Amino acid sequence: MKKKLLTAGLLLLAFVVIAAGCSGKSSGKAGEDYSKYPEKPITWIVAYNAGDAPDLPARTLLPYVEKYMPNNGKLTIVNKGGSGGTLGMNEVFKSKPDGYTIGTAAAAAITTLPLLGDTPYSYDELDPLLNYVKAAQFLVVPADAPYNTFEEWLAYVKENPDDFTYGISGNANAQHIAMENFSSKADVKLRPIVYKGENETLTNLLGKQIKGGILNHALLYEHYRSGALKPIVNITGVKPDYLADVPTFQDKGYDVVANFFNGIFVPAGTPEGIKAILQDAFKKALEDPELQEKFKELQLIPSYLSAEDFKREIEKEVESNRATLEMMGILQN
């Protein structure tokens, strides 16, 4: 009996040691030889549910990234949605910086939500690797509204303070921040109505429950073509083909721009060599003509930003958002 116990104990010990050893293998060795990377599939966490807006570009991009990955590298997308992308990014934040976990975040999870203090990570604790897609968002009104251009609309809201209701898809999100920023710079009084997503904004706009709404370009497309809605101003700095002549705030002289990006982030401490390999694969994928064709069909706007450029943009945004949030009374400095 004693002998059996001893053997069992030794086996257990051996098992534990081997298991511990195995998990240690992938945590980066000194010597920095990344010629074999990736040796197993890379987990690509999309911090949104299947079918949500950021899911589509990621899944479309995936096969092209694999095409340009060395060593027949493969990636697997795992959807981890919830809490505006912060749940998924939290996973990335907690993951080992071994190059086998990357995450897609849209702007909210990085440049607005962490500022509100409810995330376990702060915006600079995730390493921005690159940006791949941007979206344009427009302030849209029903087709029969009495204003057709930005100037006409501006005149209307100046004359009628607290009258223009516009729908946004979340409190203190980039849409809200941009509009509040503009309102203070243009000295007009608008009334934001908070909904739980752009679909709700769209429904209520079509039903004329609100006078305006902020919608992203893909969602707007069909309704613009059918003549039900018309865009007034582009609140971002990105101009999609079919709405290229709609002015942006900046075009009209207001320093307000919202940024809706989809970027890749990695846990802090991921080795530079691995980052370079990933960036290279993604960059080439975005330049692939077939992929560009696909993006065009799906109304996606590719927009590559290198790690340094991306980081700089994020920093700028966080500063600007922080200022506006303080002005709105949401953040106390």
Partner 1 sequence: MSYKRATYVALSLLMVFGWVYAVSIHITTSGGARNSSIGPTYFPDLLAVLLTVLCIVSFFQTARKKGDSIVRLHYFKYVLITLSLIVAYLLAWYYIGYFYILTFVFLMSLFFIYRRNFSMKQIAKNIAIACSMLLVIYLIFEVAMSIPL
Partner 2 sequence: MDIAALFSELFSLSTLFFIALGTFVGLIIGALPGLGTMFAIVMLLPITYVISPLDSVLLLLAAYQASEYGGSISSIILGIPGTPAAAATVLDGYTLAKNESPGKAITYSLIASTIGGIFGGIVLIFLSKPLASFGLKLSDPEFFLICILGVLAVGMLSSEDKTKSLISVVFGLILGTIGMDVFTGKMRFTLGFLELSDGINIVALMIGVFAFSEILSMLEEGPDKRHSFDKRSLKFGITWKEFSGVKKPISLGSLIGSVVGVFPGLGAPAASWFGYVAAKRFSKKKELFGKGNPEGIAGPESANNATVGGSLVPLLSLGIPGSPAVAVIMGAFIIHGIQPGPLVFSNETTLVYSILYGFLLTTVAMYVLGRMLTVFFVKAIIVPYSYLVPIVLLLLIMGVYASKQLIFEISLAFVLGVICYFLKKLDFSLPSIVMAFVLGPIMEESLRRSLSLSQGSYAIFFTRPYSLALVIIIAVIVLVSLVKKLGPSKHVSS
Contact partner, 76, from partner 2, partner 1, none, Cβ < 5-8 Å per class: partner 1
Angle at 44 between CA 297 and CA 295, to 5 degrees: 10
d(CA 129, CA 311): 8
Radius of gyration of the chain (CA): 23
- Check whether the bond before 146 is cis (ω within 30° of 0): no
d(CA 152, CA 52): 35
Q: Toward partner 1, which CB reaches closer, 38 or 192?
A: 192
x/- string (CB under 8 A) for partner 2, residues 244-283? ----------------------------------------
d(CA 182, CA 75): 41
Is the Cβ–Cβ distance between 232 and 188 less than 8 Å?
no
Q: Toward partner 1, which CB reaches closer, 186 or 330?
A: 330
The DSSP secondary-structure symbol of 99 reads S
x/- string (CB under 8 A) for partner 1, residues 242-261? --------------------
x/- string (CB under 8 A) for partner 2, residues 207-246? xxxx--------x-xxx-xx-x------------------
Q: Toward partner 1, which CB reaches closer, 21 or 31?
A: 21
x/- string (CB under 8 A) for partner 1, residues 58-87? ------------------x-x---------
d(CA 302, CA 293): 11
In whole angstroms, the minimum distance from the beta carbon of 203 to partner 2 comes to: 5
**Binding-site member from 95, 125, 154, 165 for partner 2 (CB under 8 A):** 165
Q: How far is CA 262 from CA 46, 202, 243, in A?
A: 10, 22, 21
Q: Which residues, other chains included, contact 242 with Cβ-Cβ below 8 Å and sequence gap of 6+?
A: 221, 224
x/- string (CB under 8 A) for partner 2, residues 43-72? -------xxx--xx--x-------------
Taking contact as CB under 8 A, which single stretch among the options 64-72, 117-125, 144-152, 301-309 is the one that binds partner 2?
Answer: 117-125
CB atoms within 10 A of CB 15: 10
Q: Interaction with partner 1 in 163-222: which residues (CB under 8 A)?
A: 171-172, 192, 194
Residues touching partner 2, count (CB under 8 A): 47
Q: Which residues, other chains included, contact 159 with Cβ-Cβ below 8 Å and sequence gap of 6+?
A: none
DSSP 44-96: EEESS-TTSTTHHHHHHHHHHHHHT-GGG--EEEEE---GGGHHHHHHHHHS-
Q: Quick check: 21 binds partner 2 (CB under 8 A)? A: no
In whole angstroms, the minimum distance from the beta carbon of 134 to partner 2 comes to: 18
Mutual orientation of helices 174-186 and 307-328 as an angle, nearest 10°? 60
Name the site residues for partner 1 (rule: CB under 8 A).
19, 43, 76, 78, 171-172, 192, 194, 328-330, 332
Binding site for partner 2 (CB under 8 A): 50-52, 55-56, 59, 80-83, 86-87, 90, 116, 118-120, 162, 165, 170-172, 191, 193-196, 199-200, 202-204, 206-210, 219, 221-223, 225-226, 228, 297-298, 330
